[in-house]
Structure 1
Amino acid sequence: MDPQLVDTQPASVAAWLDRLPYTDLAECGKLLGQGLYHLGRTPLDPMQRYKLLKLYLKALDRYYPLLENESLHGDALATPKTRLLAVISVKLFANLFLAFKQTLNDKLARHALLEREQPKVELLLYTMMAARQYLNISQQNYCPLSDGFWLDCHQLYALAEQNGWLDKAQAGDDALAVIYRQILLLGLTATNRLSPADQQLTRQLAYDLARQVELLPAAQLAEPRQGYVLDLQTDAPPRFLPLKPSAEPSSRYLLELAPALGSMRRSLEQLRKTANGAASAVLNNEVQLLGGLLEEWQHPRRRKHGREDAQQMAEVIAGIAGIWHRVNGDSWRPAGADDDEDSARLRPPPSPILMSVVNQSASGYLLRGLPREQPLRAGETLLLAPPDNPADSQLCAVRWVLMQPSGQEVECGVEILGPAPRPVLAMPSITHSGDSFQRGLCLNADQDRPALLLLPGRPFSQLREFRLRDGCGEQMVRVSKLHQQSPHFQLMEYRASDQF
């Protein structure tokens, strides 16, 4: 767009922002993002652009709660509509960050004898807050960050440190030093492995613990250390590395997490005590999440197996119900059961999709493709099969997901759980009014693995007894050990009840 055609008059910009279709989230987000994009690239006095950006912030205060409410009621990867909204919202907040960064750079480039410091501090604060929000939105929607994001954040921190502005804060928000540490803590966590609810808890944890994190100059450490290291000259989040003080440049810092980890341990201990006395799924989820983050922040995941490039296609069915239907001969009627109205009324699950196998290892695959209506999400189960040989199907679990910038294709890393399962029906032996058999999947025992039962949800209980029904009849079984668990399934070892 010609810069001369961009509206830079505050009154008319405010009127245009007020007329935006806020109830149409996709269209409104698209218009806001385009407006910020063109504003950031229009030559303007930095203080005039700053005034216009504040008008956009007021509009975002109106738009963002509606966007957040929508995200609470669905998965960003679930449908073409939600994927489109995810891409639009990420671009919107990326443009907000870039516009504030441009305005700050323009303001810093002007050297006047009586230049006031306050506008520069305010712009730096808004730029850091915009960076934090852009990171939040990207993680929430499983989207990659733009190149240069981490280097920008590091340089903003260096600027604040150089000028003695680290303790500066906007009314009602955190200081610059705290915002930067919040960004770093969010960068430690593989949020594309988490459900939206777990992401929200992780974000709140990072915000709360940021004040307990220290940045120690690596060159000034008394002895060699190992931990999360950040380099203000590189475009990367903190990485878990060994440090040798005598060989470290001045731009490197160690992220000292010991006080924060201590707080996490105390919180985890208290949560476990509370969860033991209450049958609360929410509390148990918080215990599992906090324990997982504590482990990850102390001992980051390492790739166990080398990966090899692969050029092949695979048929994918996601979700326990869809897998059950497929391995039950594309039918909802259990084997050996008579026709019933309930099974006849059920609609077939979404059609399988074809995805590219990008690479593979001994433990799993990297897949890429268009999910259509298949629920590809972190922690979901899927059945993976060569299109020309369904007999070689494998039961897998989705470990992480990442949406491509276009919003069309999705990448996901999957772990192999075992061969194609058999369909079963399961119901606890001690039931409540309204309980019924639910669909589950079984992996038969072999020389490397005991018999496993996969059920939806997370209500695991040691030695819980189930009535297990399949085409051969019904037996009583007890679960002996939790093998794996995610927000969408529990995989349990089991044996016949009479073996206990």
Structure 2
Amino acid sequence: MPLPTLPEQTMDPLLIDTQPDSVAAWLERLPFTDLPECGRLLSQSMQNLSRVPLDSHLRHKLLKLYLKAVDRYYPLLENEIRQHDSLGTPKVRQLALLSVELFALIFITFKQTLHDRLAKRGLLDREHPKIELMAYTMMAARQLLSISQQCYSPITPDFWYDCHQLHVFASGRGWQDKGLANDDSIQTIYLQILLMGLTPSNRLAPTEQALSRQLIFDLAAKARLIPVEALTQPVHGYLVDQQIDSPPRFLPISASKLGPGCFLLDLEPLRDILEKSREALQKAQNNRQQGLMIDELQLLSLLVEEWHQPKRRRHPRLKTQTIIEIVAALPGIWFHRNDLSWQLPGISAEEDTPRHRPPPPPCLLAISNQSDTGLLLHGQPRDQSLRAGELLLVTPPNQPENAKLGIARWVALRADGREIECGVEFIGGPPQPALAMPSITHPGDSFQFALLLATPAGMPKLLLMAGRPYSQLREFRLHDGERESLIRVSRLHTQTPLFQIMEYRDSEHF
């Protein structure tokens, strides 16, 4: 069985340093604190390594040296990306692309090394090192996909085809249940990759991504790949076609219409485990742990739904070429809705209210299409914090009366790294700035930014705050710019990892 196609380009080894000692010395001298330059040098050198003809043992030895340097470099790069927690600046987008490029090159070099090792024939050639190299190659693929998802970046071309063909080759040799000591088998790693591919990671905040990856790694071994020809009747489910460059797709699956190399990815055992975990969390939650458990329950519910059947678009989309003004995150929205001031009317400057520097100016993004419930945007966010689950104020230029409040439901970095795409769901009209603080306070507590959302007559009023302030009947001091009142929150209306929207009434009603 053939391995995935490898790059045809080769380079003269005389032009590239292939001596392990001098390569190790050069790697030690890299400017690790200059993240863009260090990443560029590493990528360029690893790209050359993947193209030069070398003995497989020497290539593997050099690859280990580069992996050691990446282990030193990548935590610094990851920390820089996490500090910004969004793709709002050109620097962060550049670093995100560097991350994906580095691990794509690691995957390519592992494939090259494996290809060369398998091509060697000899009486004393043992099988175990080849199995280990196959496992490392699959682990490199898993890491590449994980990094791409963390950076909301598209996966490299041919990635899925390569993963499918590596699995086909391993299965043909009977290696699928083998792997490294104290690590997952090749089959389990492949199932983990498939599960990661069908999970909507661009809809998840970083904390949700980490939890979903942990769940996938823990549960993937219980998933099953069922050959389509073994199905006795048509079903709807996730199809894995190992002849195409595609992750699992939810489709009607019929044995009469599909050829060899097609499988049904059976997730029923995983959904049962997730459902039981969700029920256990619902029974165990209490006020002290409620915020964390609500986050976990929400993620478990999403995965149960997504692994059963992905959501379909419910509203028709209309193409357009309009420009829209975007302000992201609660403080910036509050500032712009409060006439570009941090001082709320009715509160004296001496009172304990939040103090911040002026937020970044609004950015202009292009609308690709729109529906009654949302927008598809693309462009350069220019320091606006666009990330999954972020709060957005969407305003037509010079039309503040037509502003709408929305949530960034998903974010994706375009392949060139210059622009991002973002799906926005509307949640209300122009909000009113307010300040809120729990009535039972601790030393150092102060009023926090809040937004009052417009609701139809007769419906409960809605209060939006950052973080996890909600607990049943918790009382707040609320200042809306005209008066201060005591309120109690009665129900959690909407939440993302970044904020909560709560229903509330005046305390006197309780």
TM-score by length of 2: 0.91
The 1:351–1:249 alpha-carbon spacing in structure 2 relative to 1, beyond 3 Å, is same
Contact 2:152–2:411 (Cα < 8 Å) also in 1:
yes
Amino acid at match of 2:130: K
Gaps of 5+ in 2: 1-9
For residues 351 and 485 of structure 2, what CA distance do their matches in structure 1 show?
25
- 1:316 corresponds in structure 2 to 326
Q: Is 2:218 the counterpart of 1:208?
A: yes
For residues 445 and 60 of structure 1, what CA distance do their matches in structure 2 show?
52
Q: Superposition pairs for residues 442-457 of structure 1, below 5 Å?
A: 442-446=452-456, 450-457=460-467
Q: Is 2:60 the counterpart of 1:50?
A: yes
Residue 159 of structure 1, aligned match among 158, 169, 176:
169
Shift of 1:109: 4.8
Amino acid at match of 2:397: P
Look up the SS of the partner of 1:177 in the other structure.
helix
Residue 368 of structure 1, aligned match among 364, 367, 378:
378
Residue 408 of structure 1, aligned match among 407, 418, 421:
418
For residues 247 and 115 of structure 2, what CA distance do their matches in structure 1 show?
22
Deviation by residue 1:134-174 (Cα, 9 ceiling, x = unmatched): 01111111111012111111111111111111122123322
Q: Superposition pairs for residues 417-456 of structure 1, below 5 Å?
A: 417-446=427-456, 450-456=460-466
Look up the SS of the partner of 2:412 in the other structure.
strand
Contact 1:219–1:247 (Cα < 8 Å) also in 2:
no
Q: Superposition pairs for residues 201-240 of structure 1, below 5 Å?
A: 201-240=211-250
Contact 1:132–1:183 (Cα < 8 Å) also in 2:
yes
Q: Is 2:362 the counterpart of 1:352?
A: yes
For residues 472 and 236 of structure 2, what CA distance do their matches in structure 1 show?
38
For residues 312 and 211 of structure 1, what CA distance do their matches in structure 2 show?
47
The 1:225–1:339 alpha-carbon spacing in structure 2 relative to 1, beyond 3 Å, is same
Shift of 1:414: 0.6
Deviation by residue 1:79-136 (Cα, 9 ceiling, x = unmatched): 4333322211111101111122233334445566775434433332222111111011
- 1:380 corresponds in structure 2 to 390
Look up the SS of the partner of 2:394 in the other structure.
strand
- 1:248 corresponds in structure 2 to 258
- 1:61 corresponds in structure 2 to 71
Amino acid at match of 1:299: Q
Contact 2:403–2:429 (Cα < 8 Å) also in 1:
yes
Q: Is 2:399 the counterpart of 1:389?
A: yes
Amino acid at match of 2:87: L
- 2:4 corresponds in structure 1 to none
Contact 2:365–2:378 (Cα < 8 Å) also in 1:
yes
Residue 329 of structure 1, aligned match among 336, 339, 353:
339
Contact 2:338–2:433 (Cα < 8 Å) also in 1:
yes
Residue 106 of structure 2, aligned match among 79, 96, 99:
96
For residues 375 and 281 of structure 1, what CA distance do their matches in structure 2 show?
23
Identical aligned residues as a percent: 54
**Corresponding residue pairs, total:** 500
The 1:283–1:347 alpha-carbon spacing in structure 2 relative to 1, beyond 3 Å, is same
For residues 440 and 321 of structure 1, what CA distance do their matches in structure 2 show?
9
Contact 1:10–1:51 (Cα < 8 Å) also in 2:
yes
Shift of 1:274: 3.5
Shift of 1:27: 2.9
Amino acid at match of 1:188: L
Q: Is 2:339 the counterpart of 1:296?
A: no
Look up the SS of the partner of 2:306 in the other structure.
helix
Look up the SS of the partner of 2:170 in the other structure.
helix
The 1:16–1:104 alpha-carbon spacing in structure 2 relative to 1, beyond 3 Å, is same
Contact 1:444–1:450 (Cα < 8 Å) also in 2:
no
Gaps of 5+ in 1: none
Shift of 1:10: 2.1
- 2:470 corresponds in structure 1 to 460
Contact 2:433–2:449 (Cα < 8 Å) also in 1:
yes
Amino acid at match of 2:70: L
For residues 75 and 329 of structure 2, what CA distance do their matches in structure 1 show?
30
Contact 2:414–2:420 (Cα < 8 Å) also in 1:
yes
For residues 182 and 25 of structure 1, what CA distance do their matches in structure 2 show?
30
For residues 354 and 140 of structure 2, what CA distance do their matches in structure 1 show?
52
Shift of 1:449: 6.4
The 1:221–1:400 alpha-carbon spacing in structure 2 relative to 1, beyond 3 Å, is same
Task: State the superposition RMSD in angstroms.
Answer: 2.5
Amino acid at match of 1:249: G
Amino acid at match of 2:257: A
Shift of 1:325: 0.9
For residues 228 and 454 of structure 1, what CA distance do their matches in structure 2 show?
38
- 1:33 corresponds in structure 2 to 43
Residue 175 of structure 1, aligned match among 185, 191, 206:
185
The 1:235–1:62 alpha-carbon spacing in structure 2 relative to 1, beyond 3 Å, is same
Deviation by residue 1:25-84 (Cα, 9 ceiling, x = unmatched): 333322222111111112233343223222222333333444445455441525433332
**Higher alpha-carbon deviation: 322-331 or 59-68:** 59-68
For residues 11 and 127 of structure 2, what CA distance do their matches in structure 1 show?
33
Shift of 1:214: 1.1
Amino acid at match of 1:485: Q
For residues 75 and 498 of structure 1, what CA distance do their matches in structure 2 show?
41
The 1:148–1:66 alpha-carbon spacing in structure 2 relative to 1, beyond 3 Å, is same
Contact 2:86–2:387 (Cα < 8 Å) also in 1:
no
Deviation by residue 1:375-417 (Cα, 9 ceiling, x = unmatched): 1111111111111322211111111111223333221111111
